[in-house]
Amino acid sequence: MKKSLIWSALAVCIFAKVSLINVVSYADWPTTTTTTYLRDCMLIIEVSPPEGGTTSPPPGSHFIQGCSPENWSICAKANNGYIFSHWDGECSGSIEPCCSASFRDKGYISVTAIFNVCPSEEIYGEHSEQTELLRYFRDNVLSQTPEGQELIKLYYQWSPTIVEMMEEDEEFKEEIKEMIDGILEVIGEEVE
């Protein structure tokens, strides 16, 4: 029993990269109970696709003292042409930032920040005049009011689904383009 306990503890240290504080066995009880106290845990962060963005802390492996959700959080930042879609892995379905996953008894958490292409770039291209105008409007007009900030949140919330649908349905992509073209006319008049 003690040999298997030692091998199990060693395996946890090697594979999960966890530091053990103490292993206590209560042999006086009718059955032996073993308690393992974890001091540090591993947070493994990945980004998909790699060119889509980055995270803070950056992608890679990070030790978390105390294995407590209060000791860590991860924020995702999309690169130009991409939007943050969601978390995969231990933070699946959660929104920014990811900080609610539990190490449970594993000693590690693995999360992936998923980024998608922006709908306007899917239609017009990354450096097109239309995409630049939409970025300008987002950054200099919409972001200045609570209502505009809410529209930006909705855009980021629904963009992954819209891009996916545009990739599957060319007719839908054309309808979205017509709608954005109409918005671009109004924005262009306001900016000039």
SS3 content of the chain, % helix, strand, coil (to 5): 45, 30, 25
pLDDT in tens, 144-179: 999 998 888 888 788 888 888 998 999 999 999 999
How would you class 44 by CB atoms within 10 Å of its CB: exposed for 0-12, middle for 13-18, buried for 19 or more? Answer: middle
Rounded to the nearest angstrom, the gap between the alpha carbon of residue 42 and the centroid of all alpha carbons in its chain is: 17
Is the pTM value of this prediction over 0.75? no
**Would you state the structure tokens that stand for residue 160, as one six-digit string?**
């992954």
Residue 23: predicted pLDDT: 37
Kindly report the backbone phi and psi dihedral angles of residue 35, in degrees, each rounded to the nearest multiple of 5, phi listed first. Answer: -120, 130
25 confidence band (pLDDT: 50, 70, 90) = very low
- Rounded average pLDDT over 116-132: 87
